[in-house]
Amino acid sequence: MKDLHSSRQVATGPARQLVGERATPSAIAGVWAALRPRGPLLGVFALYLLALLIIPVMTPVALGDDWVYARSVEILIEEGRVQILDLSVVTLVWQVLWGGLFAAVLGPTFGAMRLSTVVLSAIGGFACYWGCRQVGVDRERSALGAALYLFNPILFSLSYSFMSDAQFVALLTISTALYLRGLRPDRPSAAFTIIGSFVAGLAFLERQQGALIPLAVAMYLVLSGRLRPNRVGVGLFSRVVALPAAMTVTYYLWFRFIHGIPKAQGDFLQKVRGAGLDGAALLAGRLSLIEATYVGLFVLPLAVAALLTLPRLLRAVQPLGWLAFAIWAMFVLGGTAIFWQSGRRMPYIPHYLSPSGVGSYDLRGGRPFLFGQLGFDIATIACVMGALIFGLILCLQIGKRGPQDTDAAGLVFADSSGGKRAAVDPFRAGAGLILALAFWQILGVLPQSFTFRDWTFRGLNAPSLDRYLLTLLPLAILLTLWAIREVRIAIPAAWALALIMAVFSIVGTRDFLTFHTTVWDLARDVTAEGVPLTKLDAGAAWDGYHLYEYSIANNIHTSAPLPWWIGLFAPADTCEYIIAGAPRDDFSNLYAPIRRIEYSTWLNPEPTYLYLLRRKDVPGPP
């Protein structure tokens, strides 16, 4: 009893809370002191969680192409096997397993699989924050980077789907952060490097583009002189590439001898060959400017914050930096002028960020535009300005020297022979790694864009999809924040723009899911009233989910001039009834509206409607 009494007498601080006593003011102050520096990051994730209360994440609808991947999860849950549908161009294995985990717990529903993407994107957001910290960015700016990552309109809307893009970008970001930590020259870590390589392997099992991650890391190590042909160098190389290489080989052996290669992947290779060198060169040229302009969009809040302190930035640029910036500016402005004269405006490749808001629609008639020609012009100018400031920010670092001979600062690292090398700036080394990753991910956009090189938007060529550029999002954020980590900029302005972007993304994604929920509810009502699935066109996701496997099983094909998704997803659909966003003139001669329902949208102040149309040669109600 005496010992127990004594232990109670000396219990203070957190120990008092363990025995049920009230927390002292000093304990509360200690907790507050610990949380305060992390307040911006906690605020970012609090807003991310709040979005779950606004957006109908569990709504039972498919979005875009995610029904293709959802069917693989359903097969896994129901039959216990991994089956990649012929329509899948991506490797997909990781997504099926990750989505299957959520489906096993919550049931194989679209909502459960969508939630798996939301969670993985959140982890990617934290990895973006941690990656910023690894290149010397302070906590507040790192939290700002996480906000720009999580609430980017394209990525945020994709995070509320079961598409592969958001999941791949999260894995890329996680792997990048782990490699940054594991390969820091001042305090390398074999464990973090191996974990990073494992996540890179998972990224390959999501999309083939993941194979470029360890390739980029290996290139960086060679160019930086850290990878040499000796025992230590072989060990480092193995830690970087062995796991993803083994996972890649295992995947292709499984595909070749057990599963079989999906038809879409074979067709994809034919499209690449069919483009030829001239087509590939034209596509690469256009994509180069498009990628630069979208990077300007990705870092726009940071660019505006830097622009407000432009004189300070200009004074810090070295002569060699000015030369590099002149080349960058000529490329961006010259390309933009060519695009502008041909009538091209942002968004150049609209899909999940378009004049209709965020999220795809893939429905006849689509959704009404939120802005007109003036909005296109302003968006283009803003993104080009962002691209120019991005280039200027990076050029700040050209010609600068890192710390030299600073053993006391802990910057000397052992080279691959085990000896000591000259001191380097670990943050600059991290930036070099990010640049190598960015180089290969820029190239990685090209192959997947061949399928869309002849697509058009508003009568002009739109040779890719905006979601393919998302691999540049975390890398652009990391590079920008690293380059200005010691430069005073208007941080409140950046936070204000980030908040505006977050509100737009949350509300727009809410509208996106509400729109598709209304489409699917109407389609369910129509089929319940007696219209067969084979006679109703309710958009790409509905038609594909309900009719793709039926069409394949019955060997049904069509060459009629119908929407793209009918020939690709649902050739069995005769389209006697269609659900449309508007009774457009291009099919008003064939169809008559028989029902109109309003759907909710917060971004568009005007009433918005869906229409059920019936082909004029079809008699009466079902």
Pairing of strands 608-615, 577-580: antiparallel
- In whole angstroms, give the CA distance from residue 230 to residue 218: 15
Beta-carbon neighbour count of residue 282 at 10 Å? 15
What one-letter code names the amino acid at 561?
P
| Structure tokens that stand for 17 in this block | 């809370």
| Structure tokens that stand for 219 in this block | 């290139």
Query: Could you tell me the CA-to-CA distances from 201 to 71, 213, 304, 474 in Å, in that order?
Result: 23, 9, 37, 18
Given the structure tokens 């192409």, which residue do they identify? 65
Beta bridge partners of 580: 611
Across the 622 residues of the chain, what is the mean pLDDT of every consecutive 10-residue run? 41 45 64 75 98 97 96 96 91 96 97 98 98 97 98 98 98 98 95 98 97 98 92 95 97 89 71 78 94 98 94 88 96 98 96 95 92 95 98 91 43 44 79 98 93 84 95 98 94 97 98 98 97 96 97 88 88 94 76 94 95 91 64
| Structure tokens that stand for 239 in this block | 């830690």
Pairing of strands 536-537, 577-580: parallel
- pTM assigned to the model: 0.91
pLDDT at site 499: 98
Q: Contact 145/129 with Cβ under 8 angstroms? A: yes
Q: Rg of the chain's alpha carbons, rounded to an integer?
A: 27
- In whole angstroms, give the CA distance from residue 239 to residue 30: 40
Largest CA distance in the chain: 96
Look at residues 119, 113, 125 and name the one whose alpha carbon lies nearest to residue 161.
113
pLDDT at site 258: 87
- In whole angstroms, give the CA distance from residue 133 to residue 427: 9
- In whole angstroms, give the CA distance from residue 333 to residue 387: 10
Q: What is the DSSP letter of 365?
A: T
pLDDT at site 267: 67
Query: Could you tell me the CA-to-CA distances from 349 to 78, 96, 353, 461, 502 in Å, in that order?
Result: 38, 28, 9, 9, 21
Query: Could you tell me the CA-to-CA distances from 163 to 211, 339, 498, 526 in Å, in that order?
Result: 19, 30, 24, 27
Exposed e or buried b for every residue in 101-116, given b needs 16+ CB within 10 A? ebbeeeebbbbbbbbb
Q: Map out the domains of the chain as residue ranges.
A: 1-54, 55-511, 512-615
Residue 239's contacts (CB-CB under 8 Å, 6 or more residues apart) are 182, 190, 193, 194, 197
- By three-state DSSP, how is residue 603 classified? coil
- In whole angstroms, give the CA distance from residue 193 to residue 213: 12
Q: Contact 157/505 with Cβ under 8 angstroms? A: yes
